[in-house]
Amino acid sequence: MKGIIFLTAGFAAGFIFYHLFLHRRMKSRYAKDMELIHRASDELSSALQPERLPDRINALFARLTGIKRCCIMLYDAQHDALVIRAGTGISERAKRDIRFKPGQGIAGRVFSTGGTEFVDDTAIDASYMEFFKGTERPSERLLCLSLKFKSRVYGVINLHCGAVRGRDVPFGAMEMHLIHTLANISAAAIANSQFYVQSVSDGLTELYIHRYFKQRLEYEIEIANKYSLSLCLMMFDIDYFKRLNDTYGHTAGDYVLKNLGCILKQSMRDTDVCARYGGEEFAVILSDTGIENAEESAERFRKRVEDVEYHFNGRVINVTVSVGVSGYRANENKEDFIKRVDTALYKAKETGRNRSVRL
């Protein structure tokens, strides 16, 4: 009898110690996750690099959940669709081509409702497979959360949870609480970022203004010096822009400037900083980019502009640009860097225009 009592007591003590151990582990994990949330809040509040915010948010979700495949989709008003702005384990083709209209597929549905959905098997979800009709898709679990702030939905976060089935959700209550907290912080950061971008953007071209360009270049130079990173700068202006205004009028000139801004943003990476430097002159900061790649980007953009025809009031307007590009030199000041790129631009103009020159 005593043996049974001792055995029972031993099991009870073991049970208690085991659960105390689990409780401490959970508390430790919760503390670490909350520390990550606080760091995330501080990190995402930085407004100086708004174009890199989706990558930061995506990386934070990947770290918090341990998931190897996830993506951030933000609403693009120009295309009336959700567009992938950052992703881990997502192909470049998917980032380029996948678009969900509001209400379309799981992501579009979550965007429209402003809620959260968990799909245990995407291969048998009608709305998911309808979008990917004719394409072989893996069977996987998907958690999709809206990025909502003050009743406005800015996009969604998709967490691809793998093919294991049998549980209602892939995360426990504590993890889901942390995921929702991070989603709320992310949505607030996106909202603040969009307000900030509007305040430092040119009304006509929707590119950054000269003041922001100068601040950002100073920041990128500091980062390049600190981490020994490559940094390039590209400047260009429209050839014979005064003649264009005199021939077709200033309204036509504004039309060309606005469309050129669109072409520039489409031609550059999301992380490149495109600015209207002044009048018909523009500048692009290409961080973590070598001079060869910067020169290729400059030439690709120049050719794209040359190939476009502007149709304005029944008339066809052809436009070309002259481009200067150069790489940053260690410990060089901002003014000397800009001056060298400006010299390359004027060399392009002096040697016939509609060309790119590297110095």
Distance of CA 27 to the CA centre of its chain: 34
8 Å CB contact between 90 and 62: no
Write down the catalytic residue from 51, 140, 175, 280: 280
8 Å CB contact between 306 and 218: no
Active site residue 222: no
Pairing of strands 321-327, 356-358: parallel
Alpha carbons 354 and 348: distance in angstroms, whole number: 7
Handedness of CA 169, 170, 175, 177 (dihedral sign): negative
First to last CA, the chain: 93
Radius of gyration, alpha carbons of the chain: 26
State the Cα angle at 273 between 86 and 284, rounded to 5°: 135
Amino acid identity at 159: L
Alpha carbons 73 and 163: distance in angstroms, whole number: 22
From its phi and psi, is residue 303 left (phi > 0), alpha (psi between -120 and 50) or beta?
Answer: alpha
Alpha carbons 72 and 223: distance in angstroms, whole number: 26
Show which residues are catalytic. 280
